[in-house]
Structure 1
Amino acid sequence: MANSPQAKKRIRRNNKRAEINGARMSRIRSFVKKVELACTEGDKEAASTALKAAQPELARGVARGVLHKNTASRKLSRLTKRVSAL
């Protein structure tokens, strides 16, 4: 258990950051799922619209340090490939 005030504050901060980062990841996953759902339904217009909405979300995740740059790039590339294949 944390005894020093600094360690107690660190625990509070870590918990707060984990909650915020979890919400960010959840939001990113939701946007990605919308693209995947539109792809499985075969709706190219909806898929491309969802992809345009997901792209800045992935970039924001990278900027905030929630996602690695290459991970976001890979996800975006694969989604783009799936949408263009429709």
Structure 2
Amino acid sequence: MYVIGAACIDEKAGECVDVCPVDCIEEGDDQFYIDTDICISCGACEAACPVAAIFYYEELPEDQKHYFDKAVHYYSSK
């Protein structure tokens, strides 16, 4: 699964939304979020992101692991 990290904060370029084949990326107040329950881990979003904000979870830098929890919270509070 993929996670959107710090580089997206207040950037929100949006190319990731356009290329996602399962429409699992939504715009939040300060960044985009990937719904990990829907994501098929195709990697299209990672390749399209112009600010390199998207990481495969296992490759997410340690100091950005909380962005996974932030995404889970975003979708669970909807």
What TM-score comes out, normalization by structure 1 length?
Answer: 0.32
More strand by share: 2
More helix by share: 1
Which structure is higher in RCO with an 8 Å CA cutoff and minimum separation 6? 2
Larger radius of gyration: 1
